[in-house]
Amino acid sequence: MPRGLAHPDEDIYVRPSAKLVARVWDDCGEHAVLERWFWLGKWTLQRLAVEGRAEARKAMGAAPIRGYHRSTTPEQEAQAVAAVLRLGTIDAACAALGLHYTTVRRALTEAGVQPPRVDRRAVALRSAATRRARRAA
């Protein structure tokens, strides 16, 4: 049986591209976006619109817009990305540079670098050791 006939919802409720959401939001307004993709939340659509505008600026060759409340400079963020690539983990880069985890993670995302995968076993062992230490105290 063709996929379209077996699960029609899969063809109807398709996640839109970020550029499309941004274009519709800017041309027609927020209500048009919320009505068109009603199954997605408002905050998801807003995030997609922001990402779409950033992609459009990047495609035109314009500099990315930085928030005015940033505590880091572009040079510090470039150092953070380099530290993550060199050290292998975001935590190690945070400790080496004295930056917050989310700051380094955002710098990676904006640079287009895939964040390194976290070893879940190591995290579980650390959290178990922390629990044991807290129980003992």
Average pLDDT over residues 117-129: 89
Predicted local confidence at residue 1, as pLDDT: 44
Query: What average pLDDT is seen over the chain?
Result: 88
CA 35 to chain CA centroid, nearest Å: 25
Q: Binning pLDDT at 50, 70 and 90, where does residue 133 land?
A: very high
Percent pLDDT > 70 in the chain is 89
- CA atoms within 13 A of residue 83's CA, in its CB half-sphere: 21
Instruction: Please check the confidence at residue 100 and state whether its pLDDT lies above 50.
Output: yes
Average pLDDT over residues 53-60: 88
The angle subtended at Cα 111 by Cα 44 and Cα 75, nearest 5°, is 125
